[in-house]
Amino acid sequence: MGELADRMRQDLVLRNYSPRTVPQYLGCARKFAAFHRRSPAEMGETEVRAYLQHLLEDGRIPNSVRVTVAALKFLYRKTLGRPEVVARIPWPREPRRLPEIPSHDELRRLLAAPCPTTRALLMLGYGAGLRISEACALRTGDIDRARGVLLVRGGKGAKDRVTLLPAELLAALAEHWRATRPAGDRVFPGSRPETSMSANVAQRRLKGALAAAGVTRPFTYHSLRHAFATHLLEDGTNVVVIQSLLGHTSLETTQRYLRVRVDLLEKVRSPLTALLTK
């Protein structure tokens, strides 16, 4: 794509898209151009539809195709100034799957990881509801001991928010700091003090902790965030409060955790039980 890719990159940066989104969108645009072997500037709605149909028929999951749709909508609306090309391009419908919620026993074993750094990282997911990128990017100035809260800067959608800082999480962060003594203000520095730990490194730490804890069910860092929201609901926390803690724009996104509340099911008696115990 050459010059067009440079312009798209600049447009993404000027609109303050995240460092992860910029290369992701550029990659989608390049694959679109490579598929048709033409510059996007020379193509229109017909080529966009044909490419998206190819991705879906090739077995790509809807969420992956949604990223491509977002990238191409940005390309034509912002960089090329041709919004009519993508005005009628639909968003692929995503299946409404229930989030995987780890049990309390699995969480206790996982959060008992012997490495202070790994333990602190995992506690940020379950104790404060952070995404993996937010945990890795945490800085010392984001920890407000006086008010007992964490400041999440530049979360998804470039939004700041405040979330919980339980005493147990604060103690784990302090233990990590004593064990590693990071030089800069990054709580989890990367290869250089001025950079943060990458999400890939954090995922490898999680994988090691899962193996040590004997947790075999499908599990990602986001499972900790799912458990944070679900267990708060089960403890009676208002769903609007949870929406704020998670940084969700839509309340509908938060309300999906209502579908996995086990405590409500425990109060309901199956008609089979009622029938056979009469």
Query: Catalytic residue numbers?
Result: 131, 156, 222, 225, 248, 257
Burial (CB count <10 Å: 0-12, 13-18, 19+), residue 48: buried
Contact 136, 196 (CB under 8 A): yes
The DSSP code sequence of 16-61 is: T--TTHHHHHHHHHHHHHHHHTS-GGG--HHHHHHHHHHHHHTT--
Q: State how far the Cα of 10 lies from the Cα of 19, in Å rounded to an integer.
A: 12
Length of the chain: 278
Contact 74, 28 (CB under 8 A): no
DSSP 196: B
Phi then psi dihedrals of residue 182, to 5 deg: -60, 140
